[in-house]
Structure 1
């Protein structure tokens, strides 16, 4: 097992990073210190997997892309997997505002989040971790404090404890979701999580909404939109297959060609040739 650790000297009454660390854990590794912390310690899993439990919560299996937090004053247990032990980094947080800033997020109620790697929260958390590595200075202390608030801002926006009451009917929700996908499917960064956050709906609810009404998952509906548009470009333009793949939201030609063949039964090249005949 190897890793790094550092305590920071900058102090703020309201919010502060006390220390940071990073660890590549050995199989079945568990923390041998006090399992009741005097501060908040947030972990981001970079690779592998393990198990995590906190007082009054069931044990869960977490993996790369997940986050868990050791709340102040709460007994916790966490252990690396036997075959795929996790690697993670952590930030120790203190200050009178930390608990308040956590209180409006799911992280404060269940003490973990799954698959946050594509979120703004995750990006700002990683930026905060990187900033904590720099030598202490007035400029860097300001940066750390700004990033800390921005991280909690994204956490509460993207993972709120309570969903706002949505008075729209299921038909209205479905139409809105379809419209959003049709307007944004050409964006390669578009994901179903983006759609859920935009509409303030859970992923399971949105999946059920699409399945019950269209017989398709939201992801498959998005793929169908892209494939039908690809057919239009293949039939009516001279754009190369590489250009078409980029236009309809794919970052590379290979991934697009594979998806197109699965959808139509033909590669894009063969499909275009069949039209000319």
Structure 2
């Protein structure tokens, strides 16, 4: 098995990147190794969708919400257009990733088909010889004179394979549930939803939700919600002229006094003094 896997990796290191034009836009696929991208830490906001599937090597990623995750073989990143994140490739000279890049129109089409989930950023798909063979064959087919329709069909089949394999992992299902909960907790329009209700929406009991969330994010759901509300408050105090009363209402607080008290607890000063300090 190890020899077959290494043979496939050697083939991947030699295979050239392929680019084709489909009816919905441009499709690119291939492999990235240290010779293509030396170890580096980069902040990115991509114009097109980029799927990163790590075959070997290690790294680290920080998503758009500031959550950091270590990367290892089998980890897959769905780097959706305009989604800010930071990617770090470690200096072990072993990095090898398979990638698929889709133009914004193609990306939207795949989302509409349920083959890509805009809210999914991180997942895990175990590395296997059948999957590597499928990736190698996909790129090879792109180099051949296949019709755009046939290539589009092959693209959907490969993305579906990644999607289904990731969905079979219980650990990934829990991560998806927690990511959805984090989205609800940070959504300004969802601030009045009680935590047990959020747990119910993601299919967990409240105690299970609280335990898994705290382990995954390093803070309780309530603390996560508070920090995101205050972070949004700081942004508005810096970037807008909105009144303190309007801001409190916009962020879902019952009254301005409750907002000011919580802001001072987190930041050490009141919202008014915070704004004044920025103006000096």
TM-score, normalised with respect to structure 1: 0.45
